[in-house]
Amino acid sequence: MLKALIFDIDGTVAETEEFHRRAYNRVFSDERISWNWSKDLYKKLLKVTGGRERLKHYEENVATNKYNLNSDEILRIHTKKNEQYNEWVNEGLLHLRPGIETLIYKAQENNIQLAISTSTSLMNVKSLFKNCIGKDPYTIFKTIATGDMVKKKKPDPEIYLLALRQLSLSPTECIALEDSYNGLISAKNAKIKTLCSPSLYHRDDNFSEADFICEEFTEDKLPIELRQLIFK
């Protein structure tokens, strides 16, 4: 029996990554750091989840110009990136992906609980929902598990296991909604069935382990089995 839907945020609820990428480049330029992340490069860097982890990985393994950034400097750049990102969110530049809002309301009508499991921060989740549907996410989601609450981000299952604990549900009672390989593996390692809708940056990821795949989360594109469960 389906008791809860657990939503990823970046790429699933909204196409956020292009705004994160542009915000990084803006900060690099402001800080006189000679890095500029192209779309192709960012696609590769997204294999590392979490902004601070991604920055560290880039400096250590990819960058030719190195600045030997310590963890405080990485934190400062990441914080500035998020300030810029949230400025754009507050200006209304981001939108929920097709079908997401209806899915939320239909699930609520049918007493299916809602949760979030994401590598990003609670602050980013709050600003996205406030600006995209004018609501505090805690009025919609029973629990919100974020990257700042766990030691290991996706593809580790920790964020999904945290959501399950907070929901007091077993994995078989939930379905995860994801857009990327790392997200899928995180949910699958927590033994949760997963519906994947690849986002722009993850079109070429391997989704062979997904239980369900859809082009978008709209009613007409949902796998029939899930449509019957959610749109009763």
Of residues 59-88, those binding ligand XBP (CB under 6 A): 82
Distance set, CA 105 to CA 14, 121, 178 (Å): 17, 24, 19
| Binding of ligand XBP by 43 (CB under 6 A) | no
Q: Toward ligand XBP, which CB reaches closer, 51 or 171?
A: 51
Active-site residue, 148 included: no
Closest CB 119 distance from Mg ion, rounded Å? 7
Closest CB 86 distance from Mg ion, rounded Å? 18
Active-site residue, 220 included: no
Nearest residue to Mg ion by CB is 11
Residue 182 binding result from Mg ion, ligand XBP, none, given CB thresholds of 5 to 8 Å by partner type: ligand XBP
Nearest residue to ligand XBP by CB is 51
Of residues 134-163, those binding ligand XBP (CB under 6 A): 147, 154
Q: From 35-43, 99-107, 118-126, 127-135, give the range in contact with ligand XBP by CB under 6 A.
A: 118-126
- How many residues belong to the site for ligand XBP (CB under 6 A)? 20
Q: Which residues are catalytic?
A: 8, 10
Binding residues for ligand XBP, per CB under 6 A?
8-11, 17, 20, 49-51, 82, 118-121, 124, 147, 154, 180, 182-183
